[in-house]
Amino acid sequence: LTGVLDDCLCDIESIDDFNTFKIFPKIQKLQERDYFRYYKVNLKRPCPFWADDGHCSIKDCHVEPCPESKIPVGIKAGSSNKYSKVANNSKELEDCEQANKLGAVNSTLSNQSKEAFIDWARYDDSQDHFCELDDERSPDAQYVDLLLNPERYTGYKGPSAWRVWNSIYEENCFKPRSVYRPLNPLAPSRGGDDGESFYTWLEGLCLEKRVFYKLISGLHASINLHLCANYLLEETWGKPRWGPNVKEFTRRFDPTETKGEGPRRLKNLYFLYLIELRALSKVAPYFERSVVDLYTGNGHEDAESKALLLDIFRDTKSFHMHFDEKSMFAGDKKGAKSLKEEFRLHFKNISRIMDCVGCDKCRLWGKLQTQGLGTALKILFSEKEIQSLPENSPSKGFQLTRQEIVALVNAFGRLSTSIRELQNFKVLLQQTR
């Protein structure tokens, strides 16, 4: 995996070095700060597109938040009448129970944290917001400690997981139904095509639609990388051991096993990294203003968090091979405006599909990373508004909510981690040869 990426003048080796030595160590520290570790999310919103069949047909798969003093997180499988015919043999039930347990969201929070959140909400309400996020206001929304709920393998797979990604690609990536994605099991047999007809179609699209597909493919590749890098290797005496699974990585990304598709997906991961990196460099002026602080109620920690964030912004500005977003939506004004709105609505639809993910932990990280990318796109398309922000007062021209800020930083942190993990897999693969 080397060389220059398509649709931009940047090479993979430059991104690897920049991420390893400048971004990754700092973004890791930032994600551990209180402001960025707590994310408010509604994991109870129903799937708006199809009947929610639950994971492996277990009704109580979705984790209810509960006080630590009452019951441990994770729901035990109930009586036999809770299973449909789909999951009626012991092996399937065993797999489902394991996935149910691994996919549980740990909603444990200290009383001190809960009191701080009330203070945070009061502070946020006093700010002049650009937009309201319905999810934040819902009584079902809850704060989740992201450090207690790392993104990793949960056993969530099969038809339910496949349907989510298939819906994203088939209905939201500007693709006609007559064009089939590489490795799509529903595609008719076409001899030695190996997806070439798909890429011929993709190259024929306008830049904006091509970029959209690459962003979604890059996000998919990043999520798969996290699952391979933080895999349940074994569990003895109730103690799980997590780590990189080279076999799983090879299955998902090896050129031979994926008929050349794996490296293309990983290149899209790098492309997505460039897009979010560009957004961070563009939004720096918003945070550099004295009126913006990362408020948690702890003045000393808030100042340190902002200083670290501004340090990361300085690094993003020092990168010399940014994606040039000015090449997007640059046609005639009417056509560009229509295309941008279509782009926005397609992406909004994808964020709604995340409510169809049947595993709470996967849903949590899917929603966060989707919102992070959505925030990055919002930033890239708001350059004029950001440049004209007043120094000492909030502005209606451009505003970010706490949720958008937390999602933006953590989503980019996930991409930074993916590229770092990819370096690790390269070393492991060399050792096994």
Task: Name the phi and psi angles at 27, rounded to 5.
Answer: -70, -30
Catalytic residue among 56, 96, 173, 362: 362
- Which H or E run includes 144? strand 142-145
Pairing state of beta strands 239-243 and 231-236?
antiparallel
The residue assigned the tokens 């932990």 is 361
Task: Look up 56 and say whether it is catalytic.
Answer: no
Query: What tokens appear for 336 in the block?
Result: 């560009």
Active-site residue identified among 10, 56, 356, 359: 359
* Distance set, CA 283 to CA 230, 232, 293, 423 (Å): 31, 37, 14, 28
Helix (H) or strand (E) holding 215: helix 207-229
Reply yes or no on whether 173 is catalytic. Answer: no
Query: Any idea what DSSP says for residue 11?
Result: B
Q: How many angstroms separate the CA atoms of 274 and 8, rounded?
A: 9
Q: Give the C-alpha separation, 280 to 413, whole Å.
A: 12
Of 388, 408, 406, the residue nearest 398 (C-alpha): 388
- The annotation status of 220 as a binding-site residue, yes or no, is yes
Q: How far apart are CA 186 and CA 200, in angstroms?
A: 19
Q: Is 152 annotated as a binding residue?
A: yes
Q: Is 252 known to sit in a ligand binding site? A: yes
122 annotated binding-site participant: no
Supply the residues annotated as catalytic: 359, 362
| Residues in binding site | 152, 154, 165, 217, 220, 252
| Residues in binding site for FAD | 152, 154, 165, 217, 220, 252
